[in-house]
Amino acid sequence: MELNFRGWSGGGSSTSEIGVEEGAQLQRLEWRMELNFRDECQSSEWDWGRKKSLKRNLKFNGEKELFDIDVSGFSPTGDSPLEGTCGEVVEIFDGNRHGERLGTDPVAGFFCGEIFHPKTFTSETNMVEIFFHVDSYDENTYFTFDSRAEQEQDLYARFGQNPEMFPHRRGISVKGTYCERVFQDCRADTCYVQSPGYPGVYLRNLRCRYHISTRAPYVRLNMRNQELSVAGQRCEDIMQCPIIPLSHTDCPYDVLHIHDGKTENDPLIGSFCGLGSMPFSVVGTGNHLLLEFRSSNAGPLLGTGFYFTVGSVRQQVERGGELTGHPCNWTFSSLGLDKSGSSHGLFTSINHWYPPGTKCYYLIEGRTNEIARLYFPSFRVSPPRAPIASADSPSLLYRVGSFAPCVESLTVYNGGSPDPSTIMKKFCDSFSQALVNHDFIASSNSLLVVFESQVGSFEGAAFDFWAHFDFFNNSHAGDLVPGTRCDEVFLERQLSFGSFTSPVNGLVFKTKEDVHCQFRFIADLTKHRRVMLELRSVAFARSSTDPSQEKCEKDCLQAKDVDRVVISDPRSSEGRPHCICLNHGRGQAPKVFFSTENHLILSLFIPGSSALKYFKDFGSGIFEGTYRYVHQYVWSGAEKKRTHGPSSRRKAIGMKGLVGTLPYEDTCGPTRFLSSPEGRLFYPLFDPASRTSPVYGGLIELNGEDVVCVWDVETSPGMSVWLDFTDLRPSSRDCNVEKLSVFIEGEEAPFITVCGNGTGQNIPIVTGERNPRNLIRVVFQTPWDSNAQFQLMWTELLANKRVSRAEALLSPSCDFQCPGNQGCIPMELVCNGVLNCPLPIGNRSRNEEHDESAERCSTGTIIPLNWWLMAGVAAVITVVALGSIMVTVFLWRAKNRHE
């Protein structure tokens, strides 16, 4: 039902008119009438000029009709609403007050005062009663109105389009109440929160509650740019009654309370009243809001109330756990990310209301060996968009631009506490520029972000951002070199063996500059140890079709813009560093490198053009391997003084080529052998059964570390080498536990490995062409408590091919041709008690014509085939023959001249 009040002076006016007839004597009159649509109400004749009370009752019945009532005028003679009393009133009941009344109060409120422009009331039910009462009246006392019936689909302002499709847009009415409604699962354009009677005036003496919920937080009451008319004027004369501005605290009459939750006990967001366009919306901290609308018992026929819609604000927050004591403190941990299966987390700015003085803490905390990073993929800074209060006037609603600078701030700290000395950046609402995709990288495992607001907000902060955070493993196998990006040092005094990897912190590669990382492995000089590196895998972010692949294969060291790993020995003058630029899988044999003394350097070079590839697709790293400082100590300190100088035992076992008189105090013996026609070494240098040294005497002290022995055997330039392992008695058949490997200097993979069931295999000859650096390295690895034994002998051969007589004449060492044309040896190695010629493969019988055959060595005397003597004899014979020929020729010519 819609009542259109066109005028009012103590009452109302228009088509249905109630007046006072002159001469009327009634002290009290009640008038009831049934009105059909467009019926007119005419007054009787009343006694003008006498102060009598007048009361009229008008009742409207219909199905779904709405009535327009136009009040033309009303001239009161009593008090006005400004004075707090109403002597002349209009009272409207919406619904049947006799048993079917929807309101909780049996007595409706009163409209009083004056109106000069038409006012409309739209009923909520199909029955309306109007009571008009004045304590005294005269010829100026009147009111007029008209009414008409409306269907729901005709009231677009109230029900919107297609109301039959959305029967609960205005909520579900609570039984037994006039205006309490429930709005469930609101989403866009499905919930219309309206004051009773909207779009007309609302009734007096109301208490309406609106229970609002959405499926997803946060619930948003869309109020921005919507008109609010709740006690905005006490009378229609703006000169006498100025418009009351919008307020959220100072509301003594009609008021709209908004609670952040389901009940009146939940936090009060604001109490709104006044007249004007709302400058903001209200966003709750959850998915429930409670609105409570109250109107005073008496008041003017002016307020049109409110009309809001409901939506939600999605906020994606990776919550690591709420801190105690404050609902706006959050922690985000790497452990939480691991549980969620995500590599990074995120949180957003506050997109809901918060009171003045709010402080929010976002603690980003990783494990001890991690580095925390924060960046903002989206970031906008603006003045406070829906402030709650200011220091000047905390009750009024302020708009953008009315505050002092920096009333809201966002501060990033390098660490887990708000220490001013660790501030990385502070953003202010009024003048700071947003930093998008700028990395805030902690120097430790934590970052702290603090948001602070002096003014609060009804719908969100001045900072609108998405913040991403992640954690990077910052562990190091070695000691990080201060002031460098990724250099590490591995010292023997801290750990004698271990593993290493390329930098595991992906942030190392988040740069457009070249990346240089250097790993230094330094053995203790006092222990005379050397460095052994095993590079188990190398995985560059480069495909086989990459243009740099061809450069890599041509010249790894000199090629520019090529990812590579370089192994260098700063104490060595032999050859070039090892350069690796091709991928090496874990299933392949590891690449092994040794230092000549106590220092080895592994360098990683990644050009700036490809560095970001390793950051974006960073997996398990570029390379990984192990290191060891080899030749472990096993002798007690008391025995060290007895180890200097060559011993008779060393001479007895034939350790030829021993360098210097360093104290070889381990099971491995000397580490380097100078070039010589033959040589041999024994392992171990102590009796495995008694653990006593046959060389030095005394008990061996084993320290529990696996034994790794490395022997360097120098060779003569251009000479081939035959190696022969005799008396090989391994302690394990597992090649991962014990093995003996032979390396050629300059090659990263072993030339041959002897272990397990392959201990009886023949070892190929190392040719001079394959060994241009003239160095062969023998490595033996075994557990510390093993009983393994072996003897290695080697012999230099002139060539691993058939030797011609002419070549033999040019070499003084080619005295004896080995069987099978596998080379030749000097005469001093023939019949010396050691087999120095390699036997034909597949036949190790000593009955062949080799250098130690019984037939050759049985007489005890060896007549060597001296090619120089034969050449001299041949030369003498040639000279004698030439001389004889010359004498003969001379005599023949002399005879002819005589004749």
Would the pLDDT of 659 be above 90?
Answer: no
pLDDT band at 322 (very low <50, low <70, confident <90, very high): low
The first and second tokens of residue 83, run together, are 């004075």
pLDDT at 654 over 50: no
Predicted confidence at residue 731, as pLDDT, reads 85
The number of beta carbons lying within 10 Å of the beta carbon of residue 891 is: 10
Q: What is the overall mean pLDDT for the chain?
A: 77
| The CATH number of the domain covering residues in 1-150 | 2.60.120
> Within 13 Å and on the Cβ side, how many CA atoms surround 214?
24
Can you tell me the distance from the alpha carbon of 47 to that of 471, in angstroms, rounded to the nearest whole number? 91
- Measured CA to CA, the distance from residue 676 to residue 665 in angstroms comes to 24
**pLDDT grade, residue 182 (50/70/90)?**
very high
- Token pair listed for 846: 């000593």
Could you report the per-residue pLDDT of 518-538, keeping only the tens digit for each? Answer: 999 999 887 778 899 999 999
SS3 at position 230: strand
Q: Are 489 and 498 in contact (CB under 8 A)?
A: no
Per-residue model confidence as pLDDT tens digits over 672-707: 888 888 888 888 866 555 555 544 444 445 556 778
Rounded to 10 degrees, the C-alpha dihedral 476/481/486/488 comes to: -50
The percentage of the chain sitting over the pLDDT mark of 90, rounded to a whole number, equals 25
pLDDT above 90 for 487: yes
496-629 domain in CATH 3.40.1350.10?
no
Instruction: Categorize the per-residue pLDDT at 83 as very low, low, confident or very high, splitting at 50, 70 and 90.
Output: very low
Residue 650, both tokens: 């060393």
The answer, yes or no, to whether residue 41 has pLDDT greater than 60, is no
pLDDT given for residue 145 in this prediction: 75
Q: Dihedral of the CA atoms 557, 559, 562, 568 (nearest 10)?
A: 10
**Is pLDDT of 655 > 60?**
no
* Alpha helices by DSSP H, 475-562: 547-554
The enclosing H or E element of 361 equals strand 358-365
Q: Is the pLDDT of residue 4 over 60?
A: no
pLDDT at 426: 95
Reported confidence tier of residue 830, pLDDT bands at 50, 70, 90: confident
So what's the pLDDT on residue 575? Answer: 64
Beta-strand relationship, 329-333 and 358-365: parallel
Decide whether 496-629 matches 637-797 in CATH topology: yes
State the average pLDDT over residues 395-422: 78
In this predicted model, which residue has the larger pLDDT, 417 or 725?
Answer: 417
Mapped onto helix, strand or coil, the DSSP state of residue 142 is strand
Q: Is pTM, for the whole model, over 0.75?
A: no
Mean pLDDT, range 644-661, rounded to an integer: 36
**Residue 215 in tokens:** 């499926």
What tokens were used for 594? 């040794």
Q: What is the mean pLDDT of residues 806-819?
A: 66
Residues 224-277: tens digit of each pLDDT: 888 999 988 888 888 888 888 888 888 888 999 999 999 999 999 999 999 998
Domain ranges of the chain: 1-150, 172-298+305-312, 329-473, 496-629, 637-797, 866-899
pLDDT for residue 671: 79
Residue 372 — pLDDT band, cuts 50, 70, 90?
very high
| Mean pLDDT score, 892-899 | 69
* Per-residue confidence (pLDDT) for residue 327, from 0 to 100: 73
The Cα 159–Cα 178 span in angstroms is: 18
3-state per-residue secondary structure call for 693-747:
CCCCCCEECCCCCCEEEEEEEECCCCCEEEEEEEEEECCCCCCCCCEEEEEECCC
Decide if pLDDT at 88 tops 90. no
Cα 462 from Cα 558, distance rounded (Å) = 55
Q: CATH number of 637-797: 3.90.1560.10, 2.60.120.290, 3.40.50.620, 3.40.50.10420?
A: 2.60.120.290
Q: Topology of domain 329-473, per CATH?
A: Jelly Rolls (2.60.120)
Sheet with 89-94, strands from edge to edge, namely 34-35, 54-61, 127-134, 89-94, 110-111, 298-299
Cα 609 from Cα 593, distance rounded (Å): 29
List the one residue out of 460, 472, 446 whose CA is nearest residue 331. 446
Query: In the CATH scheme, what architecture does the domain 172-298+305-312 have?
Result: Sandwich (2.60)
88 versus 729: which is more confidently predicted? Answer: 729
Q: Report residue 183 as tokens.
A: 């709005």
Whether the Cβ atoms of residue 244 and residue 274 lie closer than 8 Å to each other: yes
